[in-house]
Amino acid sequence: MIPNIDSPKYQGQRKFMVSKLKSLGINNKNVLNALNSVPRHLFMDPGLISHSYKNMAYPIDSGQTISQPYTVAFQTELINCKEGDEVLEIGTGSGYQAAILSYLGFDVFTIERNITLFKKSSLIFKNLSIKIKKNLLGDGYLGIADSAPFDAIIVTAAAKEIPKNLMNQLKVGGRMVIPIGEDEQIMYRFTRIEKSTFKKEEFGQFKFVPMVKGK
């Protein structure tokens, strides 16, 4: 749980943000409650805190972004997980998406390739007592093989092609949500039906920073 270091001002702004998300089609009550509870302003660049509860993406360190709340909610809905499920996040970034997943009671594994972002998010997780099962600095394309298989994988950067290593780290019945493309991406959900059989679904266009190999 996140300590009570909030203020009525931010609580009111989050409530308005959640009402906006509802109007955009987010209807999972648990996801909406998580977005209403996790203080996004604590994950923002200090100079942008006043914009924390606008439905927009904003820059963080190292040329990366914190995703807009709608995108965070949308991807979290799509993985369709329940409390206790093991979820791998590719691209920790600010740590906000991981905090949402943790608030929902998932066992969160998260990997970040950029050492500056890794150090910052690690400190936030510690300071806010956010429970993360495994927090790694590494190559997201490789996933975390020694912790696989996962109930779900959520990728928060745009891949040019389907990462086969990640597909192979899903449980049968597991789901991976990932944006694929270059200038603009299509959001896909892959569900592992059998060992070598996957169901593919499309969920519209999005805009993400590129998913880069290595660390």
pLDDT tens figures, 158-214:
999 999 999 999 999 999 999 999 888 999 999 999 999 999 999 999 999 889 887
Please state whether the predicted TM-score (pTM) of the whole model is above 0.85. yes
Q: Is residue 116 part of a domain?
A: yes
Residue 1 located in a structural domain: no
* pLDDT band at residue 3 under the 50/70/90 scheme: very low
Termini Cα distance of the chain: 30
Tally of structural domains, the chain: 1
User: Is 52 annotated in the active site?
Assistant: no
Range of the domain at 167: 8-206
Q: Is residue 58 included in any domain, yes or no?
A: yes
Categorise residue 46: left if φ over 0, alpha if ψ from -120 to 50, beta otherwise: alpha
Give the H/E segment covering residue 44: none
- pLDDT-derived band at 7 (thresholds 50, 70, 90) equals confident
Do 184 and 207 meet the contact criterion of CB atoms below 8 Å apart? yes
Q: Evaluate whether residue 2 is within a structural domain.
A: no
Confidence of residue 215 (pLDDT cuts 50, 70, 90): low
Q: What is the pLDDT of residues 102-144, one digit of tens each?
A: 999 999 999 999 999 999 999 999 999 999 999 999 999 999 9
Q: What is the CATH number of the domain that holds 145?
A: 3.40.50.150
What are phi and psi for residue 88, nearest 5 degrees? -100, 125
Q: Choose the catalytic residue: 50, 52, 62, 67.
A: 67
Q: Is residue 188 part of a domain?
A: yes
Question: With contact defined as beta carbons under 8 Å apart, do 13 and 21 qualify?
Answer: no
